[in-house]
Amino acid sequence: MKVYDDKHIKNIVLLGAPKTGKTLLAEDMIYEAGIIHRRGTIEGRNTVSDYHEIEQERGNSVFATPLHTEWRDYKINIIDTPGFDDFAGEMISSIRVADTCVMVINAQHGVEVGTELIWNYIENFDKPVIFAINQLDHPKSSYDSALSSLRERFGNAITQMQYPVNQGEGFDCIIDLLKMVMYKFPPEGGKPQKLPIPQSEIEEATMLHNELVEKAAENDEQLMEKYFEKGTLDEDEMREGLKLGMINRDVFPVFCMSAKKNMGSGRMMGFIDNVAPSPREARPEITVDGKEIPFDPEKPTVLFVFKSHLEPNLGKLSYFKVISGEVTTNSELINSQTGAVERFHQLFIMDGKNRNPVDKLVAGDIGATVKLKDTYTNQTLHARGFDVAVAPIEFPEPRIRTAIIAHSKNDDEKIGEVLSKIHQEDPTLNVEYARELKQLILSGQGEQHLSVCKWYLDNVYKIGADFVSPRISYRETIRKSATASYRHKKQSGGAGQFAEVHLRVEPYVEGMPEPTGVSIRGKEEIDLDWGGKLVFYNCIVGGVIDQRFIPSILKGVMEKMEEGPITGSFVRDVRVIVFDGKMHPVDSNDISFKIAGMMAFREAFLKAEPQLLEPIYDVEINVPEEMLGDVMADLQTRRSIILGMDSRGTVQVIKARTPLAELDRYTTTLRSLTQGRASFRQKFAEFAPISFDLQQKLAREFHEVEMA
């Protein structure tokens, strides 16, 4: 396969809400370039990019899939991404390594909730964008409405490159405003005829062409001068101006197409070749310490691994972008995170599951290799003596969690190992054993994200497991001061056990005055691993308890705080004052004072009006305007506090605070209420007091389990 230099490589990512037609557009592009000789379909389960068994079962993309075309002496690397926000990690990593984003828009709906969510990811990376209005052959398509929604949301940067002549079921003609011709496609799609613009369209096409010339000219002073001198720009000058506008994100070109009928993809590919920025023209990569990595094929080699995937019968497949230098077969590179040496035995250009072997890849190109031993997603490989680490991708926090219970006790350890391996491939899936909840917790981006993980456990790793609702991480504290004492005495022949501890507990608030009525001999502030503080005072005078036993009392208090008296939850924001006690010259020891401290703390805590706290989350919901009422009504049943609403075009954004206990499987409910057109994000906000009735109910349930 030909090795392309950086000037002739273009890297694009196909993005868009679900069902906009990204996979079929990718199929068109590689078909037009001759990479395949027959276009696949979603229904036929034979597209190049959706090749995984689970994607074919579901009928939608789950993974980001790299493909490539060779089009008019240019190589275009294409990454087809999922549309559902559950797979945000696949989108984000692909945007990171692409130089241009192609946002596919459904001509029936225009800007959707999914469009808005993806746009937020694009803006984080400040990438150039092309819009492709697809499905213009659909009976309900409306190019004008879709274009209007783009302009309403994205402003004057929306730059019309084409418009359809006859959208709907008879769609087959596009007027191109850069070349000023009409493309007429045969019924089966493919290569169009270039025809003069019909007389009926000349006036509108000329007006829009002039607007396009002005748009191109305003991106460069020299072009503006030429425009004033000549009153127009030639095609090459317009391309130059449009490229500058794209790089500066002042121009978002808009194209027309029907991916289903293979109409329009070739013209967009020609524009990508001639106008979209190359890797050399794109913004440079940044190191972990904020420095730019010079883009130079002559510099030492730097690769960034943006995706890893375990392929059956093949092993781990690692996808990377060459940031500088070049990589060849038998190259040896250093992992900047682990220091491991990795040898490249094979290099590939990927087209779905098809691996095209190459001997070399240069700066700017995207490729893959197999069986890297110690390198995973988000890691950097570099040449010896050129120590550099590319700034890692920041993936979103999990939005949904589930507890996992293996069907067989023998699989308990194995399931943890497998989930850790899956996390290394997909950093947006997190797994941890929650000591407080005594459950293995898997966290992800949504129900579909977790269901894919479940599919892998069942079908690839052959581990049976149930996904169940996880317990809630409550916290316990107190609302008033209380005093208690406890005497521990045990005699069973020989040396006995004796300790007596008197202590006071108080609610802790940052900045509160020191306790009164006692002589403070020592103070220890402990930032608790689970949040909040314990402040422990030693106020023993007169030697009634030897100083060497004070740490044992603290240890007993800490042990009880790890399993609070109400529901067994962690205790926080308490201060403990040990002010009196007794000891025995022979029978007192560390274990005795630990037990006495624990029990005295428990009794005082229960007298001090214990309060259960529940985790509260900030929730942001993106919902179509017409479905706002149903979503608001549902939130009110979930003990939510509505903080406000905002609008982004036709999308309404609800901001609320909701208890975590009310968010279990919320994604399923939201999808049902909105036919899958809404999405939400959640982020921990605070622990807040729970109602007395609910606290009593939870305490009763806890003690019933304890007694069972």
pLDDT tens-digit profile of 461-470? 999 999 999 9
Structure tokens at 50: 């959706």
**Which residue, of 416, 443, 471, is where some domain finishes?**
471
Last residue of a domain, one of 437, 471, 505: 471
> Are 33 and 154 contained in the same domain?
yes
Q: Are residues 157 and 257 in the same domain?
A: yes
Q: For residue 689, what is the domain's CATH number?
A: 3.30.70.240
Residue 242 lies in a domain: no
Contacts of 629 (CB under 8 A, 6+ apart): none
Q: What is the pLDDT of residue 493?
A: 64
CATH code for the domain in which residue 365 is found: 2.40.30.10
Whether 41 and 145 map to the same domain: the answer is yes
**Each residue's pLDDT tens digit, 352-399:** 999 999 999 999 999 999 989 999 999 999 999 999 999 999 998 888
Regarding whether 119 and 22 lie in a shared domain, the answer is yes
595 membership: H or E segment, kind and range: helix 590-607
Residue that terminates a domain, selected from 608, 631, 648: 608
CA-to-CA separations, 676 to 120, 177, 663, in angstroms, rounded: 19, 36, 17
Above pLDDT 90, what percent of the chain? 81
Q: Which of 36-40, 488-492, 595-599 has the lowest mean pLDDT?
A: 488-492
DSSP 398: P
Q: Is the same domain home to 571 and 630?
A: no
Examine residue 223 and state whether it is found in any structural domain, yes or no: no
Look at the alpha carbons of 688, 694, 699, 702 in this order and tell me if their dihedral is positive or negative.
negative
Q: Number of H helices and number of E strands within the chain?
A: 16, 36
Task: Specify the range with the lowest mean pLDDT, choosing from 260-269, 337-346, 620-629.
Answer: 620-629
What is the pLDDT at residue 72?
85
- The answer to whether position 75 is within a domain reads yes
Domain that holds residue 361: 302-382
The strand pairing partners of 700, in sequence order, are: none
Residues 307 and 343 reside in one and the same domain: yes
SS (H, E, C) 659-688: EHHHCCCHHHHHHHHHCCCCEEEEEEEEEE
279, part of any domain: no
- CATH code assigned at 442: 3.30.70.870
- Whether residues 603 and 623 share a domain: the answer is no
Same structural domain for residues 310 and 453? no
CB-CB neighbours of 34 under 10 Å: 10
Which CATH number fits the domain that encloses residue 581? 3.30.230.10
| Conformational region of residue 462, where left means phi above 0, alpha means psi within -120 to 50, and beta covers everything else | left
User: Exposure string (b/e) for 446-462, b if CB count within 10 Å is 16 or more?
Assistant: bbbbbbbbebbbeeebe
In a domain, 516, yes or no: yes
Report pLDDT for 489. Answer: 93
Whether residues 602 and 621 fall in one domain? no
Q: Do residues 59 and 151 share a domain? A: yes
Mean pLDDT of the 304-320 span:
89
| Domains contained in the chain, number | 5
The answer as to whether 220 is a domain residue is no
What is the helix, strand, coil percentage profile of the chain, to 5? 30, 30, 40
3-state secondary structure 444-465: ECCHHHHHHHHHHHHHCCCCCE
Q: Give yes or no: residues 547 and 489 share one domain.
A: yes
- Are residue 546 and residue 597 in the same domain, yes or no? yes
Residue 391 falls within a domain, yes or no?
no
Q: For residue 212, tell me if it sits in a domain.
A: no
